[in-house]
Structure 1
Amino acid sequence: MTMRGGTLHAPAHSRARDGERPPTRLPLVVHVLALGTFLMGTTEFVVAGLLPEIAQDVQVGVGRAGLLITVFAVGMIVGAPLMAMLTLRLPRRLTLVLALGVFAAGHLVVALGSGFALLLAARFLTALATGAFWAVANVVAARAAGPAASSRALGVVGAGAMLANVVGVPLGAFAGQLMGWRGPFWALAVLGAAAMVLIARHVPRDADGDQAVSLRSELSALRSKRLWLVLAACTTTTGGVLSTYTYVAPLLTGETGLAAGLVPLVLVGFGAGALAGFLLGGRLGDHRPYLTTILAPAVTTVLLLAIFLLAGHAAPTVTMITLLGLFGLGANPVLISLGVRFAGEAPTLGSALTVSGFNLGTAVGSWIAGLAIDSSLGATGPAAVGTVIAALTLIPAVTIALVQRRRPGPSPARAANESAGTS
């Protein structure tokens, strides 16, 4: 790949012609980046399983210890676009390595720290690094795979975070019970340092050529109305799903009557569904991007409504929650791909803003769901909130499809190739 005019270009032989079948195998670097997002996803949610132990050790209430999760979400919202701007002139490979270095250092501080304020600061710093890594990793993966397979590549990268919910978070919680809550943070620090070596070795040098771009040219992406439609869809699709998922335990034990010991199995089912959804959504998105971004939230809305109405029945509720993982986040890799494309000459900022959109949806959705669970709706309140928020995704999703249909020109893959061929 080469750089012309501040834009990363694929060599002519690697550009997918219109109608050409996407490659059967993705570049190795895509899977290496997925290992990085696996670590990021693990650290984001592993705290939830360790809150009682952390609270007792640092002598704060469990509710206050939960700020370790909140501050991480805030750091992701702010950090992704902020760090994308601050690292604008750095080579992409160097940005990824530095982000992992800060990630490892942040976990080392948490593992050694004793004061709660220090832990909060370290979590916020880690979130900034996570946002930077995720934003740049999406761009590198999409460029490496090429336009014909960009959504599939982003599905694999995002699947690393989904796998964290199935494997990383449960293992972290189990390790915390065996060796104390600091053990998982030591492990993440070591793994982060090891990931630096993998990234430095496998991310190609041509991914970090001279990025002769200015802050003004990056910010020009904010004038794209299609980008803002994508960001609105990112916020609502994730907000609808995770507003419900955040409070799924009281729903299962209070309304469904499921034993508390079975709740983790349901969560694993959701995580496995989300992992499959990311991979399938990425594959479908390379062929039918706009259909995927409409179909996924439409099915998600129906599933959330079914959870709200059938919460008193165990089998349907458990089934719906598993399917919610499959469909609820399936459009995300496609939305990231569209965000990168619609940002034009500012792909890193476009990617960063989608990361912020997902986290903003999580923060706002879970906050509204928390208010709903204290209302007359009780434990079913979050599902009602999620239904409404997920349905709102159809507005930007349908609008994007209509706008693209009215725009004369080639298919998305060919359009991306032709754009890459201009300087």
Structure 2
Amino acid sequence: MPFVIYVLGLAVFAQGTSEFMLSGLLPDIADSLNVSVATAGSLTSAFAIGIAVGAPLVALLGRRWPRRVALPAFLVTFELMHVLGATTSSFPVLLITRLIAALANAGFIAVALTTVTAMVDENSKGRATSVLLSGVTVSLIAGVPLGALIGAHWGWRAVFWTVAAISIPPTIAILRAVPADTTQPSERSTRHELHALTRPGPVVLLLLGALVNGATFCTLTYLAPVITDLTALSASWIPAALVAFGIGAFTGVTIAGRLADTRPTQLLAGGTTVLAVGWLLFAMNPTDPTTTFVFVFIQGVFSFAVGSTLLSQVLYKAADAPTLAGGFSVAALNVGTVIGPILGGLTLNTALGYRAPILVSAALTCTALLLGTATLARKPIHTLITGGPTAEEARGGPSPTSRRSSERH
């Protein structure tokens, strides 16, 4: 992998820390700004909305932007929004800063995906994507728990300052590491790329991504009160739970990096099944500390293994949309990130309490499993969930049909 991909992953680490850090800060933010925990949870939804809207929008508007200029510009905007968020005492202002920071995050991810996939060979998109997304998982292992510890000792504002500070080194590194000539404008029209993205294969993948990511964030957003209210552990255990999820997520991305290019169907079908069963079992027994930490780890593994594979498969199946596929993939994942916490928040006042978001996660994943199963029933075996050519065909090998034809002759 080119060194610049790891530099971009470092920037994604800072952005991932910002995106996920609220899981451990919601109670503190709610108390500080005099809002409910459910209202504070809308900060997560606001960030996801900004990414969902911003990713395709920036991908459309920035088709010919120089990447060496766009990437650091997005990061600087991201940093400034965190400085403003750290200094405000108004919840609406904080909400707006999250939206703008998310737009900058979306623009960065959309351009970064285009950059990394353009810098590797045609058969390594899954691996390049996993390296980029490993920054997110490392943020779960190190950045988010560290943020929770900083928040516990110095308050949530100190965490915002920290995120702004750790975004500066990758900004400087990108200016030095991204070559000035990396811009590769697409010769295809916007209409052509949009048409490629609306074929059945990519559409199913995007829908699956929204559902799986919605399930992940539905529970992750309310993980702090799950740990303290249901598992009856002290708040000091929240960082440990986030570390367990982060280690699982890193493991999942690593698995996807090894298998997403060669066995995507098996990984998607098996991983989604494990996720559906895991959420149901977790909801049945969230009070035992050992069980809770085991499920947090397992769900982290398969949530990110499936999510990363879905993203890379969109890049494969929508190869005719090289500048828009990444942006729309990120948008789809974050549509789920919006839906999940909202649905979870709506169920908090039921008799199930904080158990309800876990059941919502189970329902969303079961829906994804049903959609995948329905697709399986309609498609030939080599298209399955992805609705496109096999990995062998993508690498230029013979299709099953051509092999059968050659055998007959």
Residue 297 of structure 1: how far off its partner (Å): 0.6
Q: 2:280 aligns with which of 275, 280, 305?
A: 305
Within-5 A mapping of 1:130-169:
130-169=105-144
Q: 1:80 aligns with which of 48, 51, 55?
A: 55
TM-score of the two chains, using structure 2 as the length reference: 0.85
Q: 1:262 aligns with which of 232, 237, 240?
A: 237
TM-score of the two chains, using structure 1 as the length reference: 0.82
Residue 243 of structure 1: how far off its partner (Å): 1.8
Q: 2:338 aligns with which of 363, 368, 371?
A: 363
The aligned counterpart of 1:5 is none
Matched position secondary structure for 2:260: helix
* 1:105 and 2:106 are equivalent in the alignment: no
Residue 204 of structure 1: how far off its partner (Å): 3.3
Aligned amino acid, residue 35 of structure 2: G
The aligned counterpart of 2:382 is 405
The aligned counterpart of 1:217 is 192
Larger mean Cα displacement after TM superposition, 29-38 or 188-197: 188-197
Question: 5+ unaligned residues in a row in structure 2: which ranges?
Answer: 398-409
Question: 5+ unaligned residues in a row in structure 1: which ranges?
Answer: 1-25, 417-423
Residue 269 of structure 1: how far off its partner (Å): 0.9
Q: 2:307 aligns with which of 332, 336, 359?
A: 332
Within-5 A mapping of 1:17-36:
26-36=1-11
Larger mean Cα displacement after TM superposition, 301-310 or 214-223: 214-223
Closer, same or farther: CA 245–47 of 1 in aligned 2, 3 Å: closer
Matched position secondary structure for 2:326: helix
Matched position secondary structure for 2:80: helix
Q: Kindly provide the CA deviation profile for residues 302-348 of structure 1, in whole angstroms up to 9, marking residues without a partner as x.
A: 21122123334443332122111111221122111111222233233
Any conservation in 1 of the 2:46–2:338 contact (CA below 8 Å)?
no
Q: Kindly provide the CA deviation profile for residues 23-80 of structure 1, in whole angstroms up to 9, marking residues without a partner as x.
A: xxx22122111111111111123345445665666x5435455443332121111111
Any conservation in 2 of the 1:37–1:160 contact (CA below 8 Å)?
yes
The aligned counterpart of 2:403 is none
Larger mean Cα displacement after TM superposition, 111-120 or 297-306: 111-120
The aligned counterpart of 2:146 is 171
Residue 394 of structure 1: how far off its partner (Å): 2.5
Matched position secondary structure for 2:305: coil
Question: In 2, Cα distance between the equivalents of 1:357 and 1:146?
Answer: 25
Q: 1:61 aligns with which of 35, 41, 66?
A: 35
Residue 86 of structure 1: how far off its partner (Å): 1.4
The aligned counterpart of 1:8 is none
Question: In 2, Cα distance between the equivalents of 1:317 and 1:187?
Answer: 29
The aligned counterpart of 1:274 is 249
Larger mean Cα displacement after TM superposition, 400-409 or 82-91: 400-409
The aligned counterpart of 1:16 is none
Matched position secondary structure for 2:96: helix
Larger mean Cα displacement after TM superposition, 358-367 or 216-225: 216-225
Any conservation in 2 of the 1:224–1:342 contact (CA below 8 Å)?
no
Closer, same or farther: CA 52–300 of 1 in aligned 2, 3 Å: closer
Closer, same or farther: CA 109–242 of 1 in aligned 2, 3 Å: closer
Larger mean Cα displacement after TM superposition, 291-300 or 401-410: 401-410
* 1:379 and 2:354 are equivalent in the alignment: yes
Question: In 1, Cα distance between the equivalents of 2:59 and 2:276?
Answer: 33
The aligned counterpart of 1:421 is none
Any conservation in 1 of the 2:24–2:238 contact (CA below 8 Å)?
no
Percent identity, aligned pairs only, is 34
Residue 90 of structure 1: how far off its partner (Å): 1.1
Aligned residues: 390
Closer, same or farther: CA 54–322 of 1 in aligned 2, 3 Å: closer
TM superposition outliers: structure 1 runs of 4+ over 6 Å: 407-410
Aligned amino acid, residue 56 of structure 2: P
Closer, same or farther: CA 410–288 of 1 in aligned 2, 3 Å: closer
Question: In 2, Cα distance between the equivalents of 1:257 and 1:111?
Answer: 30
Closer, same or farther: CA 52–355 of 1 in aligned 2, 3 Å: same
Residue 177 of structure 1: how far off its partner (Å): 5.0
The aligned counterpart of 1:14 is none
Residue 412 of structure 1: how far off its partner (Å): 5.0
Any conservation in 1 of the 2:148–2:239 contact (CA below 8 Å)?
no
Residue 116 of structure 1: how far off its partner (Å): 4.1
Residue 358 of structure 1: how far off its partner (Å): 1.5
Question: In 1, Cα distance between the equivalents of 2:255 and 2:296?
Answer: 18
User: For the aligned residues, what is the CA RMSD?
Assistant: 2.8
Larger mean Cα displacement after TM superposition, 89-98 or 293-302: 89-98
Q: 1:292 aligns with which of 267, 270, 277?
A: 267
Question: In 2, Cα distance between the equivalents of 1:252 and 1:187?
Answer: 25
